[in-house]
Amino acid sequence: MDTDLSAPAGERGRHPLPAVGDFARAAGAAGIGPGVFVVAYGSMGGAERLWWLLRHFGHDDCAVLDLDAWHGPLSTGPEETEPAQFTPRLRNDDTIEAAGLDRSRGELVVVDARIPSRWRGEPNPIDRVPGRIPGALNSPWNEPLRRLPGGEVVVYCGSGVTASAVLHRLHLAGRDARLYPGSWSEWEQLGLPVERSDL
């Protein structure tokens, strides 16, 4: 997560999107290239983050496996991988930056994928500034997708990783949505509006 699926942490958040060339090298080293169908699995939103990044960089031949439902064989130990040539085709319609989100949030269905206590703005060891983007609805990444109103959807979380789980569920439901990659770990640094529930 911290090396292949993200750029270094900093002013753009804890898990900024990786640079195009960096992701292409990592994907190619993992054997991902033309004609390769990728099945991602993992925990804490990592599988969905890989799925989202592959699609973001133009490789739509991918899916997420529900490992809890897997009844097939499992193996251990290292796997030999034949490197491939990954050619990125960057999408420009699946993300939104902080300034654009701040300007348009009244016109968007903004979804916060963090757990409810963080969405409410309760003090916690992760968020330097507790709270949420004003008007954001809560659909926690580790729970079934909540019913959302109609409109253009933008999803964020703490650092842009677990939001991918909600984006994947929306995709399976036939609904397009955009990711705010910097998520709360960027927003809280920018002095932008913060909303909290009455605690």
Q: For residue 92, give Cα distances in angstroms to 6, 79, 87.
A: 18, 34, 16
The two tokens of residue 55 are: 């699609």
Q: How many CA atoms lie within 13 A of 80 on its CB side?
A: 1
72 in Cβ contact with 126 (< 8 Å) = no
DSSP assignments along 124-158, one per residue: -SS-SS--B-TT-EE--TTSPPPP--SS-EEEE-S
49 in Cβ contact with 164 (< 8 Å) = yes
Identify the active-site residue in 17, 24, 157, 177.
157
Q: Quick one: which H or E segment has residue 111?
A: strand 109-112
Q: How many CA atoms lie within 13 A of 105 on its CB side?
A: 21
Instruction: For 4-26, give one letter per residue: b (16+ CB within 10 A) or e.
Output: ebbbeeeebbbbbbbeeeebbeb
Rounded Cα–Cα distance for residues 181 and 15 (Å): 8
**157 annotated active-site:** yes
Please list the active-site residues. Answer: 157
